[in-house]
Amino acid sequence: MAFTAEQLAANPLFVEALKAFAIQLRGRYDEQPRLARFLASHQRWLLSQAAFALHLEYDPDEPNSGLTTTRLREIVTTGRAASRNTVLNFLDQLVSYRFAKIAGDPARRPRRFEAADVTTKAMFGWMVANLAALDGLDGGNRAKTLMEKPELFKLIQPQVARRSFDNIQWREPPRRVAMFLWTEAGGLVMDELIRRVRLSEEADGRFDIGRVDARLMAEQFMMSRTHLQRLFRKAIDENCLQWQDETKKSNLWFTADFLAEYCRWQAVKFSIVDQVFEEVSGKLASEGECDAAHRSAAVGEP
C-alpha cells in the first residue's frame, strides 16, 4: 500500500529518508554540477519534469506529439508556474547547454526537442533516489525493481510529473519553503542544510547544523555570496534558522517547526511517486500474470 502524504509527514523516519535523499542529490551535483544547478529551483523543477514527460510521451504516429514549445507552454502557463517567455528561455537554455537537442529538421514547425543522454540519466537517477528514500521507510524494493526493469521509468515519470504539477500543495510551496526553493540554486542550499541536520542533537525546538561558511557554500554551488547571505538573513528573520553565536554568526540552528513544514511539503511529492510506482508496477505485474495464463491455456497446461 502506497504511503499517503500524511503518513509520510508523521513518520519519524521520514527526516532520515530526506537526509539520505539530500546526500544522494549532492552526489549527483558533484557528478554533473552544471545540470544540477540548472534545475535547482522549484520553477526549473516543474519545467524540467513537465518537459521530460512530454519528451517520453512522443509518438512517431502523432507528428505534433512530444516536447514542443507550445505543448510545454500549455502545461506550465495553465498552472501559472511560469510565463510564456520563461518557457522559451528555458528551452533555449536546454539546447544551449546541450541538455536537449532539436529533433529532425530545425526548420520544421513546430520544432520538437529531445532530451540528451546526460539528462535522461539524471532524471532516471532522480527517480531511483526517490524510490530508495521510500524503501528506507518500509524495507521495500522499489529502487531495485526500477533498476532491474528500467522500462518502468517511461511509464512512471510522466505520471509523476503531471500529478505533481496538478497538485497545488506541491506546485506552490509554503511561503518559508518557497523563500529557498523559488530562488536560483535554492534547492541546492536547502538540500545541504537538511543533510546537516543532527536529529540526535535537538535542543529547545531546534537542531544543530554546525558551522556554515557562506563563502565556501556559494563557491561550491556557483552562486553569489551576497545572494546566499541575503537568503540566510531572510531565513533567520523568518525563524527558519537561528545563529548559535550572535557575535561570530557562524554556527546555525535549524528550527524544528521549519523542518516539519519542509517535511510536510516533501511528503506530497514522495506520496505521488509512491502511488504512481505502485499503480504502474502493479498493472504490469497483473498483465504479466494474464499473459502467462493465456500462454499456459494455449499449450494445454493445467
3-state SS string over 177-200? HHHHHCCCCHHHHHHHHHHHCCHH
What mean pLDDT comes out for the span 230-242? 96
Question: Is the same domain home to 200 and 146?
Answer: no
Residue 297: which pLDDT band, with cuts at 50, 70 and 90?
A: very low
Measured between alpha carbons, how far is 287 from 292 in angstroms, rounded to an integer?
9
Q: Which of 172, 188, 219 is the last residue of a domain?
A: 172
**Together in a domain, 155 and 255:** no
Which 3 state secondary structure label does DSSP give 205? coil
Q: Give the number of domains in the chain.
A: 2
Same domain, 105 and 218: no
Per-residue model confidence as pLDDT tens digits over 157-174 = 999 999 999 999 999 999
| Pair 147, 181 in one domain | no
Looking at the structure, do residues 60 and 180 belong to the same domain, yes or no? no
- Cis before residue 12, ω within 30 degrees of 0? no
User: Are the beta carbons of 206 and 255 closer than 8 angstroms?
Assistant: yes
Question: Residue 237: CA atoms inside 13 Å, Cβ hemisphere, count?
Answer: 7
H or E element that contains 164: helix 151-166
> What spatial distance separates the first Cα and last Cα of the chain, rounded to whole Å?
32
Final residue belonging to a domain, choices 133, 154, 172: 172
In-domain check, residue 271: no
| Residues 186 and 145 occupy one common structural domain | no
The 10s digit of each residue's pLDDT in 89-116 is 999 999 999 999 999 777 777 899 999 9
In a domain, residue 286? The reply is no
| Domain finish residue from 137, 152, 172 | 172
63 in a structural domain: yes
Check residue 184 and give its pLDDT: 86
Question: Does the pLDDT value for residue 23 go beyond 90?
Answer: yes
